C-alpha cells in the first residue's frame, strides 16, 4: 500500500528553519524495507545536479538557493579527477575545486548532497574526468582493473575521501549517498573492476548507501551487490520494473532524469519540454529523482568533452543543457513547471526565489592590438617525427608542427591521425583547414618550386568522454605526416597550452592567419554578460585573464557567457586567439545568449584531381560487375573475374524505396585469395554528389571502417537523381576478384539496391 505522499516530504518543511539558523541538524539516513528513510520516516530524494567546476564559486550559493526554491531537497555533485590532480601527484582542492566548501554551502542552505566522485564521470567533460597524464603511463588501461590504473584511481579516491567522508550524514554531515563509477554498463561488463571501485570507497570510509547509475538496458552490466540499482532516464513504472531485477522491493531512484540535453558544435541546439509530467509520475509513486542537469553551467577554458557517434562530436562551450536554470542562473519556464509539480505533490510551498545576477550590455568595442601566432611562439622541441600533445607534457590547447617541404604541384598532404582541428599553412599563409568531425586528414596543396615552410596548427577540441573510444584519446598529430606518399621528417614542434596570455607580443602587424587580438571596454555597473563572437571564425577568448572557452562560427553557440564576478568597474581587457581569420576584430556584449544559431557549413574536400571525362565514359570493358544488394544490414560479397586497375568506381543506380538519393556504409575489394585488400592507401578521387550540409555524408566514410558512418548523396538541397558515382584511387594498380558492399545500417532511407562496379 502506498505511503501517504505528504508524510514522505514532511521533513522538507524543516529545511527553511535549518537554513535560517545556519545550522544543519544531525540526521539518520538508511534503507528500511526497500525504502529510503530519513530520521525514521520515509523520504523521497528530490535532487538537482550542479557541478562546482562549471560555476564560479562566488555563484555557488545562489545556484543552490535556486534549487531549494524550486522545491528540491538535495544537490547531486560530480567531481572531476582532472581538476583535482591536473598533473601526476599534484592535488588541488582549492578555489573552484574546493568540494568541501561546496558541500558546506549546501549544508548551510539546508540541502542534502549526493557525491559522485568517479573516477570516471562522463558529464560531457574532457576525457570523462580523467587527467591527461594517464595516457603517458605505459601499459595503463583506463576504466579497467589494470594495476596502474587502479593504483592511481584509488589514490585519487582516497584524497577525495579525506575531504568528504566526515560530511556524510553518518558523521553529522549532509551526504546521503555515494555513486560507484558511472554508467559502466555502456562501456563494459567487468564486475571485478566495479567491485574493486566499490570496495575502495568502503575502505576509504564511505558508509552511506552506495549506488550505481545506468540506463535500463545496460544496468545488468553495471550493477554489483551492495549497491542500489539506479535507473537513468527512467519513467514510471518502468524504473521500478527494472530496479526490481537487481534490488527487489527497492529502493527506487532515477539518478539522472533529463530535463534537457547536451549540444555539439555543428548540431542543432537541444530544446525540450523538460518532462515535468513524467517527473511528477515518478515522485507521486515514491521514486527518488535527480534532475541532470538542474543547472548546467559552462565548460570554461578547455574543459569540454566530446562524444563519438560514428564520428568525432566535440561539445560546445556552453553547458546550458536547456536545464531548468539557464547558464546565467536564471529560471526558465520549465523551472516553474517543476516547482509547481513538487508543490502539488508534497503539499509544501518552497521558499521564495533568491535574486538573480544582473545582466549588463557592453557597447561594441574594437580589439585594436594584434600579433601573429608566429611572433608569440615558445622555444620548439626538435624531433625527427611528430609528437603527441601528451608526450610534450601538455594537457590542453594547441600544438604547432613545422617543417620545410620541396616544391611540388597538386601533391597530397596526409595527416595521420589529426586530432582534432588543423590549420594548414605554407610560408605563413593559411591554405585550408582540416576537421576531424568531417574525417578530414588529407588535402591537396601546391608548393612553390623554391619550397616552403609548412606549418600545421592543431587544436585539441576536447577528449572523448563517452563510449568505447575513451582509451584512445591522444591529441595533436598522433601518427605521422605524408606528402605525396613520403613520410615527412625533421620537425620543430611548439607546445601552446595557452595557460597565460598576459605577456603577448602585440605589434599590430597585418594578420592573415592565426593571431592574438586584444582590446578593452569600460564598465560602471557590474553584472553577467554574453560576448557576441559573430564575425570571428574559430578560437578562444579571455576576459581579464579568465578563459571563457571556445567559439566557432558554425554554431549553434554564437555568444560566450561572462560571469560578472570576473569583470570589474573601469577597464576590462579582452584577449582573443583566432585560429583562422576575422572579418572585423570587434565584439559587443549582449543581454541574452545566442545558442540556437546553427550555420550551414560548406565542405571543401580538397581531393586530388582526376580526369573526370572518364566518369561519364566508363564502358562495359571496364565494368567488373553489376547487380542488386539484398535487403538487410549485412556486408554482401560479389565475385567477378580477376582483373587489375588503379581506380575503383562505385555507381549506385537505385534504392529499395526508389528515392532520388543513395547511401552506402562501406566498400571493400576482395583479393583472388578471398581476403580483403588493405585500404590504407585508398583515397576518394571524385564523387558526383555527397550530403555535407545537414549531415556528414562524405564519400570518405566508405573507407573508415565504421558501419554507422555513411556516404550519402545530396538530399537537403536541389539535387539530381540516381545514378551516383564515387571514384576511389587505390594508390597503385590492384588485382581483385570481387567487391564487398556494406549497406546503410538499420531501417533508414536511401539504402542502395542496384549498383555497378568498375575497376580500370
Sequence-ordered alpha helix ranges (H) in 317-468: 333-346
Cis preceding linkage at 251, omega within 30: yes
Distance from C-alpha of 464 to C-alpha of 473, rounded to nearest angstrom: 7
493 in Cβ contact with 453 (< 8 Å): no
Cell reading at 310: 560514428
DSSP symbol at 129: G
DSSP 3-state assignment of 184? Answer: helix
DSSP string, 365-397: EE--EEEEGGGG--PPEEESS--BTGGGT--SS
Distance from C-alpha of 409 to C-alpha of 427, rounded to nearest angstrom: 16
Closest CA to 532 of 578, 573, 591: 591
Q: What are phi and psi of 622, to 5 degrees?
A: -95, -5
Buried b (16+ CB within 10 A) or exposed e, 336-356: ebbbebbeebbebebbeebee
Cell reading at 422: 588543423
Distance from C-alpha of 642 to C-alpha of 624, rounded to nearest angstrom: 9
Q: What are phi and psi of 128, to 5 degrees?
A: 60, 20
Closest CA to 141 of 467, 471, 393: 471
Cell reading at 531: 560576448
228 in Cβ contact with 288 (< 8 Å): no
**How many Å is the Cα radius of gyration of the chain?**
28
Return the active site residues.
183, 256
Distance from C-alpha of 45 to C-alpha of 38, rounded to nearest angstrom: 10
175 in Cβ contact with 167 (< 8 Å): yes
85 in Cβ contact with 45 (< 8 Å): no
Cell reading at 46: 528530490
DSSP 3-state assignment of 82? Answer: helix
Distance from C-alpha of 410 to C-alpha of 431, rounded to nearest angstrom: 13
262 in Cβ contact with 315 (< 8 Å): yes
In this structure, what is the dihedral angle of CA atoms 469, 470, 474, 478, given to the nearest 10 degrees?
-10
327 in Cβ contact with 269 (< 8 Å): no
DSSP string, 558-581: -EEEE-GGG--SEEEEEEEEESS-
410 in Cβ contact with 608 (< 8 Å): yes
Residue with cell 575521501: 161
DSSP string, 463-532: -B-SSTTTT----EEEEEEEETTEE---EEEEEE--S--SS--------SSSEEEEEEEEESS--BEEEE
Distance from C-alpha of 330 to C-alpha of 68, rounded to nearest angstrom: 14
Amino acid at each position: 500500500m502506498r505511503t501517504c505522499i505528504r508524510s514522505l516530504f514532511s521533513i522538507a518543511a524543516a529545511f527553511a528553519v535549518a537554513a535560517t539558523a545556519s545550522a544543519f541538524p544531525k540526521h539518520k539516513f538508511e534503507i528500511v524495507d526497500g525504502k529510503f528513510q530519513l530520521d525514521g520516516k520515509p523520504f523521497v530524494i528530490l535532487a538537482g545536479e550542479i557541478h562546482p567546476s562549471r560555476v564560479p564559486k562566488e555563484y555557488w550559493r545562489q545556484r543552490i538557493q535556486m534549487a531549494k526554491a524550486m522545491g528540491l531537497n538535495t544537490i547531486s555533485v560530480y567531481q572531476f579527477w582532472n581538476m583535482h590532480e591536473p598533473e601526476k601527484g599534484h592535488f588541488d582542492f582549492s578555489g573552484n575545486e574546493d568540494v568541501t566548501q561546496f558541500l558546506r554551502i549546501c549544508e548551510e542552505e539546508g540541502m542534502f548532497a549526493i557525491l559522485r566522485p568517479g573516477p570516471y564521470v562522463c558529464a560531457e567533460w574532457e576525457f570523462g574526468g580523467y587527467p591527461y597524464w594517464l595516457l603517458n603511463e605505459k601499459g595503463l588501461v583506463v576504466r579497467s582493473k589494470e594495476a596502474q590504473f587502479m593504483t592511481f584511481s584509488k589514490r585519487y579516491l582516497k584524497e577525495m575521501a579525506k575531504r568528504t567522508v566526515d560530511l556524510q550524514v553518518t558523521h553529522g554531515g549532509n551526504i546521503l549517498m555515494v555513486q560507484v563509477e558511472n554508467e559502466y554498463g555502456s562501456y563494459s561488463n567487468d564486475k571485478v573492476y566495479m567491485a574493486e571501485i566499490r570496495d575502495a570507497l568502503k575502505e576509504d570510509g564511505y558508509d552511506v548507501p552506495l549506488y550505481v547509475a545506468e540506463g535500463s538496458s545496460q544496468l545488468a552490466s553495471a550493477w554489483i551487490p551492495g549497491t542500489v540499482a539506479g535507473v537513468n532516464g527512467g519513467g514510471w513504472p518502468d524504473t521500478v520494473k527494472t530496479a526490481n531485477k537487481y534490488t527487489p522491493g527497492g529502493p527506487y531512484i532515477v539518478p539522472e532524469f533529463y530535463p534537457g540535453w547536451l549540444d555539439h558544435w555543428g548540431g542543432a541546439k537541444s530544446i525540450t519540454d523538460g518532462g515535468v509530467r513524467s517527473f511528477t509520475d515518478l515522485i507521486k509513486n515514491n521514486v527518488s529523482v535527480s534532475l541532470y542537469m538542474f543547472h548546467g553551467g559552462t565548460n570554461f577554458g578547455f574543459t569540454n568533452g566530446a562524444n563519438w557517434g560514428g564520428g568525432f562530436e566535440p561539445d560546445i562551450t556552453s553547458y546550458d543543457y536547456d536545464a531548468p536554470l539557464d547558464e546565467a542562473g536564471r529560471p526558465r519556464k520549465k523551472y516553474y513547471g517543476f516547482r509547481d509539480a513538487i508543490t502539488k505533490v508534497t503539499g509544501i510551498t518552497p521558499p521564495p526565489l533568491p535574486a538573480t545576477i544582473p545582466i549588463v550590455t557592453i557597447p561594441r568595442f574594437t580589439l585594436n592590438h594584434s600579433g601573429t601566432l608566429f611572433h608569440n611562439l615558445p622555444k620548439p622541441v626538435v624531433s625527427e617525427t611528430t609528437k603527441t600533445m601528451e608526450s610534450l607534457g601538455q594537457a590542453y590547447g594547441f600544438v604547432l608542427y613545422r617543417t620545410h617541404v620541396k616544391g611540388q604541384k597538386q601533391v597530397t598532404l596526409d595527416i595521420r591521425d589529426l586530432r582534432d582541428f588543423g590549420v594548414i599553412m605554407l610560408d605563413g599563409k593559411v591554405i585550408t583547414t582540416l576537421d576531424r568531425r568531417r574525417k578530414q586528414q588529407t588535402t591537396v596543396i601546391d608548393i612553390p618550386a623554391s619550397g616552403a615552410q609548412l606549418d600545421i596548427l592543431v587544436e585539441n577540441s576536447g577528449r572523448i568522454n563517452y563510449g568505447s573510444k575513451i582509451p584512445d584519446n591522444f591529441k595533436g598529430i598522433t601518427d605521422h605526416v605524408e606528402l605525396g606518399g613520403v613520410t615527412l621528417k625533421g620537425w620543430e614542434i611548439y607546445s601552446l597550452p595557452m595557460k597565460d596570455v598576459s605577456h603577448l607580443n602585440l605589434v599590430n602587424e597585418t594578420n592573415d592567419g592565426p593571431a592574438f587580438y586584444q582590446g578593452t571596454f569600460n564598465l560602471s555597473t557590474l553584472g553577467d554578460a554574453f560576448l557576441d563572437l559573430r564575425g570571428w571564425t574559430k578560437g578562444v577568448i579571455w576576459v581579464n585573464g579568465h578563459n571563457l572557452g571556445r567559439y566557432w562560427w558554425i554554431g549553434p553557440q554564437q555568444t560566450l557567457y561572462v560571469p560578472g564576478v570576473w569583470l570589474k568597474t573601469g577597464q576590462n581587457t579582452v584577449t582573443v586567439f583566432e585560429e583562422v581569420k576575422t572579418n572585423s576584430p570587434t565584439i559587443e556584449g549582449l543581454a541574452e545568449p545566442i545558442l540556437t544559431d546553427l550555420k550551414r557549413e560548406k565542405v571543401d574536400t580538397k581531393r586530388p584531381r582526376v580526369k573526370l571525362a572518364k566518369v561519364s565514359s566508363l564502358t562495359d570493358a571496364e565494368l567488373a560487375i553489376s547487380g542488386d544488394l539484398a535487403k538487410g544490414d549485412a556486408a554482401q560479397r560479389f565475385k567477378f573475374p580477376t582483373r587489375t586497375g588503379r581506380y575503383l568506381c562505385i555507381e549506385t543506380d537505385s534504392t529499395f524505396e526508389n528515392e532520388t538519393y543513395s547511401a552506402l556504409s562501406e566498400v571493400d575489394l576482395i583479393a583472388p585469395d578471398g581476403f580483403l585488400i588493405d585500404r590504407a592507401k585508398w583515397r576518394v578521387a571524385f564523387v558526383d554528389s555527397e550530403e555535407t550540409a545537414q549531415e556528414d555524408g562524405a564519400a570518405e566514410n566508405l573507407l573508415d571502417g565504421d558501419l554507422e558512418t555513411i556516404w550519402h548523396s545530396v538530399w537537403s538541397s536541389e539535387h539530381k537523381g540516381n545514378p551516383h558515382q564515387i571514384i576511389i584511387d587505390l594508390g597503385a594498380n590492384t588485382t581483385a576478384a570481387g567487391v564487398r558492399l556494406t549497406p546503410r545500417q538499420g531501417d533508414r532511407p536511401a539504402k542502395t539496391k542496384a549498383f555497378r562496379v568498375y575497376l580500370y
